[in-house]
A and B are shown apart, each in its own frame.
Chain A
């Protein structure tokens, strides 16, 4: 079945550091890929998405590129801020399907 694997957390960085959170997936066909962010005590917010191979999703300085050859969708940000501290979820949905498949989440803490 479809699955998403994220790098284990928690991840702790200093402000202005470079961030990478790895995400790989297993799915049939060509799924759409998403990164969601969850701030403490809140629901999930869509951070970015990509719907086909080589697409790059970007938002708020975060980027992720849909790599079909490596079945990956790694999240990157060049200079993180304290306000980026949150849990990040990678997810996929197969074309025509209804259900999102989530990774386990990666907790990110940014220290000033």
Chain B
């Protein structure tokens, strides 16, 4: 099956610094990638939709200038948390959408293993 990787799997940083998280589709091309945030024991909250070669579409309430998303190629999207604060500590998960297959409904999403960010 399709594989999505994330790097790093966990990171600890100090307040005020920036952290970059990479999301890669390893064996397929993903024109669309999604970034989610998950708080402990809660569901996933969609932060933004990233389309290759264009600006990301952010969900309401997500700060564009704080969470910078770049989707420079068909296999790589990055999320940069700028000027991180302790409240940004969370589990960040990306997913990549396979191209929609004719007659099979919506294209399937494949999820990365997640990145745990801790800001001290």
Binding site for B on A (CB under 8 A): 31-32, 36, 41-46, 49, 51-52, 89, 93-100, 102-105, 107
Contact = CB atoms under 8 A, between A and B. Distances in A.
B104 A102 contact: no
Interface string B90-111: 0001010100000011101111
A103 B43 CA distance: 7
29 contacts: A32-B105, A42-B113, A42-B114, A43-B4, A43-B6, A43-B111, A43-B112, A43-B113, A43-B114, A44-B44, A44-B95, A44-B111, A45-B111, A46-B109, A46-B111, A51-B104, A51-B106, A52-B105, A89-B43, A94-B106, A96-B106, A97-B106, A99-B34, A99-B46, A99-B49, A100-B95, A102-B43, A104-B42, A105-B42
Contact of B32 (A45, A89, A98, A104): A98
Given A36-B111, A43-B93, A43-B114, A95 B105 contact: yes
Contacts of B110: 46
In this complex, the member of A98, A102, A105 whose beta carbon has the largest number of chain B beta carbons within 10 angstroms is A98
Size category, B interface = 20 to 34
Contacts of A99: 34, 46, 49
A49 B98 CA distance: 15
Contacts of A51: 104-106
A11 to B, nearest CB: 14
Given A44-B44, A98-B32, 16 more contacts: A42-B113, A43-B6, A43-B111, A43-B112, A43-B113, A43-B114, A46-B108, A46-B109, A51-B104, A96-B106, A98-B34, A98-B97, A99-B34, A100-B95, A103-B43, A104-B42
A44 B93 contact: yes
B44 A102 contact: yes
B98 to A, nearest CB: 11
Contacts of B44: 44, 89, 102
Q: Nearest 10 A-B pairs (CB), nearest first?
A: A51-B105, A44-B111, A93-B106, A43-B111, A32-B105, A43-B113, A43-B114, A32-B106, A104-B43, A105-B43
